[in-house]
Structures are given as structure tokens and as C-alpha cells.
């Protein structure tokens, strides 16, 4: 049984003018990500509070390395223990370009460009050059992806490593043992960037299996892949748990326990919500892809026989189930889904074009794709033409106030690490970490406290040890998160 070749792959030549035009538009759109990197996140996309917190949280150990020379902060949130790859990458960037919000976001932009390029190469390899170009055009211009490409969080770096593993798994340059080994290693990098990479494991196994010349060799390669990933990840977490047992225990309890009520109505509602919230990616491509995919998988031999289309369909199904079980659904969780959604749209659009030829309706998919890209490019241009900088302005004022207070100052708060990323002011997290707030306050003796909203419980605990003197309140990101303002307090230790 031959599995290596894809008999229905579309290898028709693309006209040079079309290829150059799409590549030029895509590269310009990717380059726009570097403009106004410190600008506020675009309004109307995000409903989670991660804009205030997550950039500092997940760069915390790279920040600590730059400020103190030490990788970890005792008792604080140390993501490098459980998810080391992103912090190591950020630390390398900080060592070259210096600690700043811009540096942190440059690394994210680079990863986002890799996502688009890897997706293009993968679709072009397994689906043909024209679907690959459509995928690149729609990914590079997508406004939601553009917005999150400039936020230093884990999802896009994880997606880049996952796509790298898919590319290596389907390469024909080396022997199958080399392909499986390097693909498994790349996938481990993805899982050590963010654990939700594991949703893509069945897709990787399927691609490795069907890349082999015989069914028997495919089964062997799939088993080697699973064993390699289990061995590498298992070895890492066993070693980490020996050194940081409390951090690993907290990680397992927070990351792997479902938050779903296991009743039929609750399950149906959770799955429906998990699918619906994905419209944040694109209100046309996303629903059109999900509605069309079953029809193409049943009615189109070209799509049925396309290994990447099947692999991405498997990945989408598993992701929706996992998101439904997870329960908490911020927009950033959907970023990895944009690649399979747009790739499937590109594959199905080209298939529809070929089926409809020579009818004039055959150009409808192309007109639709170009129209969608144009609307997204217009949104990008509109956003970049009038940027706001409320976060960095707030952080700058906080730095001025703290710097005017002579002595060794330390900022505490749930969003304090993001202030450190922007200003270099040392900080400690008030919520995350293996030690409670009282331990941190008594151990580190913070002198300032920054809060999003009232944070009544944190303020109550701090008020048992400190007098809280409010210095300022700020309107940041339009107070989109429940209309909460950011408050800065000076802490004075009680006798």
C-alpha cells in the first residue's frame, strides 16, 4: 500500500505575475507588524484581561535574568520551569537588544512571520502552489492575527514550532528516521512553549504515518514519533519536578484539570460556545470554512485525498473538543486555529475554482479572497494611522513617580511584571506563584502596588501590613475590561 504520494495534489503552474503580486502584498503586510510596536492593542477584538498581564507574566524569567542575572525568582511565578522555550528566546533577545516592551514584541513579530511562511510552505508542498499563495495572502493580512502578532504571548511561538514539526515530518530530503526525529524534537519545543500544542499531536502523527511508502513503515514511524515525544517531554518534566516540585505540581493542577460540568446540556453548550467564539479570527473565512468543510470532505476527491486537509480537519475537531472542556475561552486560544482554518479555505477555494471552470463563477473564490484581504489591509492601515499609547504612557508615569522616591523600590501587583517589561522597575506578582501574598509581602517588602480595578482581596491583605496611599489612576486600553482603571498605590509598612 503506497502512502507517500498525494495523487490529487494540484501542481499546476501559477502565473508569475500572480505569484509576485501575492508575495509582494503578503511581505508588505508582514512588514507592517514592525510599525508602532509599543502602540495599544486594537480595540474591539479582545475580551480577556491578558493585555494588562500576560506579556509580563510569560517573559518574567527572561526579565529576571536581565535585571538580576538569575533565571528564577523565589516564590514568584516562574514559567521557565514548566514552559522554558519562550523565556529562553526572550532572554536571548534582551541580551542583544536590551530589556524593553519593543524587544519582547519583536520576537513575537518574528514568530508570527514564521507562522505565515511555514503555513505557506506546508500548503504549497501538500496542496499545490496556488492554495499556498491564497493561504499566505489571507494569513499575512488577517487583522486579528496582525493584532496578536504584536503581543508578546505564547500562542504564536507555539504555533510556529508546531508547523515546523509538520514541515519536517513531510520532508523528503532525509531518511524517515531523521524526519521523525527532528519533527518530534520540534514538536517538543512547541509543547514546551505552550502545552496546548498537544492538540496538534494527532495531526503530526497522521502526517508522519502517511508520509511513509508503506502502511507498515507508516505505523512504525508513528510509533517512533509518539515514543520520542513521550520520552523527551517525560524526561524534561521528571527533571524539572526534581528541582521545582511545587511549581510542577501547581502547573499540573491548573493546566490539565477540566473546568466543565459533565452534563449533556453543559457539554453541548460548551462545544457550541467553543466553536462560536472562533469568529473572532474572521467573520467570513472562519464560518465559511467550517460550513464548507464537511461538503468538500464528502464531495471532493481532491480534498479527501489531500493529507494536509485531513490532518487539519482532525486538528480542528480535537481543538474544539479541548476548548469546550477547558471552558475558559479568551481570543488568544483561537490563534493556533487560524492556520488550519485559512489553509483549508485556500485548499477548498482552489478546488472550487477548478470544478467551476470554465464558468465565470469560477472566479468567485478569487474575488472573495481578494476582497477579504483588502478589508483586513484597510483595517491594519486605519489602526496604524492613528495609534494610541495609553499603556506605555501609564508605565512611564509610574516609573517617574517611583524613580522620584529615592531608595530600593519594588512594585507588586498582578500586572506588575508587564510594568517591569516596559520600564525595568523590579516587581513581584501578587497572585501567581507558589507562595502566597503575605509571604511575598513580608519577604520582598514592596514599596508600591499597582492594581487593575479595586482588587479587593489583594488590597485587604496588603492593608493588614501596609498603609495604602493612592497616587494616581489611569485609563488604559479604553478601560475595555469591565471599565476597570489602573491604580497606583504607595505602600508604607505599618509599625
Q: Decide the pairing of beta strands 411-412 and 486-493.
A: unpaired
Report residue 201 as a C-alpha cell: 499531536
C-beta of residue 336 within 8 angstroms of C-beta of residue 155:
yes
For residues 163 and 214, membership in a common domain is answered with yes
Q: Based on the domain organization, do 327 and 365 belong to the same domain?
A: yes
On whether both 251 and 326 belong to a single domain, the answer is yes
Q: Does some domain include residue 82?
A: no
Question: To the nearest whole percent, how much of the chain has pLDDT over 90?
Answer: 84
Q: Is residue 51 part of a domain?
A: no
Structure confidence at residue 3 (pLDDT) = 46
- Of 316-320, 337-341, 355-359, 412-416, the poorest mean pLDDT is in 355-359
Domain membership flag for residue 439: yes
Summarize the confidence of residues 415-441 as an average pLDDT: 96
Contact indicator for 145, 100 with CB cutoff of 8 Å:
no
Question: For residue 13, what pLDDT band results from cuts at 50, 70 and 90?
Answer: low
CA triple 281-193-235, angle to 5 deg: 145
How many residues are listed for the chain in this entry?
A: 495
User: Above 60 in pLDDT, residue 10?
Assistant: no
In a domain, 325, yes or no: yes
**Pairwise CA distance, residues 441 & 461, whole Å:** 9
**Residue 321 sits in the same domain as residue 394:** no
CATH number of the domain residue 405 falls in: 3.40.190
> Nine-digit cell at 168?
519536517
Q: Do 398 and 360 have their domain in common? A: no
For position 252, what pLDDT does the model report? 81
Of the listed ranges 10-24, 119-133, 171-185, the one predicted with least confidence: 10-24
Position 181 in a domain: yes
Residue 75 lies in a domain: no
Query: How far is it, in rounded angstroms, from Cα 287 to Cα 292?
Result: 8
pLDDT at 2 over 70: no
C-alpha–C-alpha distance, residues 66 and 61, integer Å: 9
Domain count, the chain: 2
- Same structural domain, 198 and 157: yes
Alpha-carbon distance of 6 to 9, in angstroms, equals: 5
Task: Tell me the C-alpha distance between 61 and 70, whole Å.
Answer: 8
Residue 174 clears pLDDT 90, i.e. is over it: no
337 assigned to some structural domain: yes
C-alpha cell at 339: 492556520
Q: Are 298 and 435 members of one domain?
A: no
Nearest to 139 by CA among 372, 459, 406: 372
Distance CA 495, CA 491 (A): 13
Residue 132, pLDDT score: 96
- pLDDT the model gives residue 406: 82
- Are both 361 and 436 inside the same structural domain? no
What are the φ and ψ backbone dihedral angles of 448, each rounded to 5 degrees? -140, 150
C-alpha cell at 216: 507498515
Residue 368 pLDDT class (50, 70, 90 cuts): very high
Residue 92 in domain: no
pLDDT digits (tens, 9 = 90+) for 287-341: 999 999 999 999 888 899 999 999 999 999 999 988 888 777 899 999 999 999 9
452 shares a domain with 321? no
**Residue 266 is part of which domain span?**
17-46+100-385
In order of 95, 189, 335, 366, 484, the CA distances from 380 in angstroms are 31, 31, 17, 21, 27
Q: Quote the pLDDT of residue 201.
A: 97
- Please identify, among 385, 416, 438, the residue that sits at the C-terminal boundary of a domain: 385
Q: How far apart are the first and last CA of the chain?
A: 80
Q: What is the mean pLDDT of residues 197-221?
A: 95
Residue 5 has pLDDT above 60, yes or no: no
Which of 385, 416, 434 terminates a domain? The answer is 385
Q: Over the stretch 85-103, which tens digit does the pLDDT of each residue have?
A: 999 999 999 999 999 999 9
> Does residue 233 carry a pLDDT above 80?
yes
Indicate whether 429 and 326 sit together in one domain: no
In a shared domain, residues 379 and 472: no
pLDDT band at 434 (very low <50, low <70, confident <90, very high): very high
Please tell me whether residues 138 and 268 are part of one structural domain.
Answer: yes
Q: pTM of the prediction?
A: 0.94
Q: What pLDDT, on a 0 to 100 scale, did the predictor assign at position 437?
A: 96
Give the residue from 448, 410, 415 showing the smallest Cα distance to 430: 415
Q: Which three cell numbers stand for residue 186?
A: 520540534
Higher pLDDT, 4 or 468: 468
Asked which of 145-149, 224-228, 353-357, 454-458 is least confident by mean pLDDT, the reply is 353-357
The domain boundary, picked from 385, 408, 439, lies at: 385
Q: CA 157, 303, 25: angle at the middle one, nearest 5?
A: 50
Amino acid at each position: 500500500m503506497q502512502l507517500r504520494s498525494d495523487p490529487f495534489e494540484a501542481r499546476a503552474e501559477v502565473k508569475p505575475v500572480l505569484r509576485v503580486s501575492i508575495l509582494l502584498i503578503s511581505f508588505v503586510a508582514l512588514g507592517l507588524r514592525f510599525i508602532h510596536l509599543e502602540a495599544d492593542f486594537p480595540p474591539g477584538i479582545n475580551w480577556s484581561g491578558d493585555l494588562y498581564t500576560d506579556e509580563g507574566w510569560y517573559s518574567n524569567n527572561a526579565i529576571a535574568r536581565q535585571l538580576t542575572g538569575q533565571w528564577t525568582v523565589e516564590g514568584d511565578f516562574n514559567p521557565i520551569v514548566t514552559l522554558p522555550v519562550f523565556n529562553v528566546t526572550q532572554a536571548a533577545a534582551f541580551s542583544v537588544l536590551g530589556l524593553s516592551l519593543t524587544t519582547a514584541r519583536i520576537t513575537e513579530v518574528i514568530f508570527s512571520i514564521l507562522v505565515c511562511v511555514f503555513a505557506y510552505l506546508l500548503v504549497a508542498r501538500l496542496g499545490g502552489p496556488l492554495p499556498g499563495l491564497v493561504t499566505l495572502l489571507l494569513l499575512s493580512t488577517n487583522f486579528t492575527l496582525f493584532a496578536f502578532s504584536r503581543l508578546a504571548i505564547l500562542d504564536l511561538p507555539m504555533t510556529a514550532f508546531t508547523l515546523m514539526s509538520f514541515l519536517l515530518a513531510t520532508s523528503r530530503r532525509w531518511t524517515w528516521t531523521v524526519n521523525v526525529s527532528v519533527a518530534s524534537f520540534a514538536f517538543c519545543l512547541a509543547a514546551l512553549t505552550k502545552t496546548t500544542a498537544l492538540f496538534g499531536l494527532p495531526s503530526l502523527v497522521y502526517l508522519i504515518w502517511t508520509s511513509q511508502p508503506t502502511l507498515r513503515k507508516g505505523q512504525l514511524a508513528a510509533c517512533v514519533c509518539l515514543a520520542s515525544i513521550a520520552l523527551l517531554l517525560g524526561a524534561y518534566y521528571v527533571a524539572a519536578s526534581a528541582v521545582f516540585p511545587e511549581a510542577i505540581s501547581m502547573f499540573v493542577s491548573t493546566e490539565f484539570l477540566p473546568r466543565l460540568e459533565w452534563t449533556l446540556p453543559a457539554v453541548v453548550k460548551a462545544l457550541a460556545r467553543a466553536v462560536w467564539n472562533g469568529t473572532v479570527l474572521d467573520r467570513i473565512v472562519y464560518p465559511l470554512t467550517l460550513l464548507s468543510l464537511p461538503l468538500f470532505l464528502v464531495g471532493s476527491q481532491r480534498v479527501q485525498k489531500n493529507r494536509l486537509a485531513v490532518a487539519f480537519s482532525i486538528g480542528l475537531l480535537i481543538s474544539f473538543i479541548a476548548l469546550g472542556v477547558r471552558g475558559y475561552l479568551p481570543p488568544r486560544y483561537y490563534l493556533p486555529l487560524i492556520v488550519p482554518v485559512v489553509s483549508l479555505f485556500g485548499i477548498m477555494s482552489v478546488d472550487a475554482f477548478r470544478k467551476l471552470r470554465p464558468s465565470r463563477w469560477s472566479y468567485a473564490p478569487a474575488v472573495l479572497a481578494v476582497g477579504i484581504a483588502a478589508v483586513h489591509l484597510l483595517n491594519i492601515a486605519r489602526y496604524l494611522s492613528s495609534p494610541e499609547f495609553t499603556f506605555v504612557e501609564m508605565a512611564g508615569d509610574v516609573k517617574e513617580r517611583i524613580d522620584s522616591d529615592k531608595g530600593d523600590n519594588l512594585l507588586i501587583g498582578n500586572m506588575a511584571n508587564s510594568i517591569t517589561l516596559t520600564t525595568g522597575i523590579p516587581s513581584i506578582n501578587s497572585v501567581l506563584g507558589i507562595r502566597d501574598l503575605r509571604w511575598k509581602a513580608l519577604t520582598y517588602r514592596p514599596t508600591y502596588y499597582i492594581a487593575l480595578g479595586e482588587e479587593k482581596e489583594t488590597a485587604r491583605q496588603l492593608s493588614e501590613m501596609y498603609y495604602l496611599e493612592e497616587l494616581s489612576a489611569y485609563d488604559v486600553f479604553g478601560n475595555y475590561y469591565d471599565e476597570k482603571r489602573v491604580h497606583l498605590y504607595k505602600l508604607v509598612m505599618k509599625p
